[in-house]
Amino acid sequence: MNTISAKAGQVDRKWFIADAEGKVLGRFASEVARILKGKHKPIYTPHVDTGDHVVIINADKIRVTGSKMENKIYTRYSGYPGGLKKRNLEKVLESRPTFALEHAIKGMLPKNKLGRKMMKKVRVYAGGEHKQASQKPEPIDL
């Protein structure tokens, strides 16, 4: 038997919809990243984007365990002296409810052109409504 290496044109992409309500942030993000990479398919090839599209709804209802709401810190740096900004998860979710989930998924993808291409296949919505109804996404339980 020979090992099959997928080509970019051979990939058949599907659309999935996942509900994040009541799911734990990291565990949910790792399952979404697995689908975006294409690891759930037998044709998975590490250097080819074989993954599917994922629509995530109810991202504002994601939960975290322990005291991460107060203790998990997101930092960013402006590039200027004294420009380090820190915000905890609770404050971040108030202003941008989808940021924590997008950030977690992005951190689980490759840090190169391929990872950036994979990240374009995920759509995260804070509420229960989404704009991808015409793609007929299949519900998936993660």
The answer to whether position 5 is within a domain reads no
Q: What CATH number does residue 26 fall under?
A: 3.90.1180.10
User: Is residue 37 included in any domain, yes or no?
Assistant: yes
Please list, in sequence order, all residues whose beta carbon lies within 8 angstroms of the beta carbon of residue 136, skipping any fewer than 6 positions away.
Answer: 15
Q: Write the pLDDT tens digit of every residue in 22-54.
A: 999 999 999 999 999 999 999 999 999 999 999
* DSSP β-ladder status, 84-88 and 73-77: antiparallel
**DSSP characters for 85-140?**
EEEEHHHHHHH-TTHHHHHHHHHTS-SSHHHHHHHTTEEE-SSS--S-GGG-PEE-
Number of domains in the chain: 1
Reply yes or no on whether the pLDDT at 8 is more than 90.
Answer: no
**Domain membership flag for residue 69:** no
Mean local confidence (pLDDT), 118-141 = 96
- Domain limits for position 54: 13-64+98-130
Residue with tokens 């998975």: 44
More confident residue, 36 or 4: 36
pTM, two decimals, is: 0.93
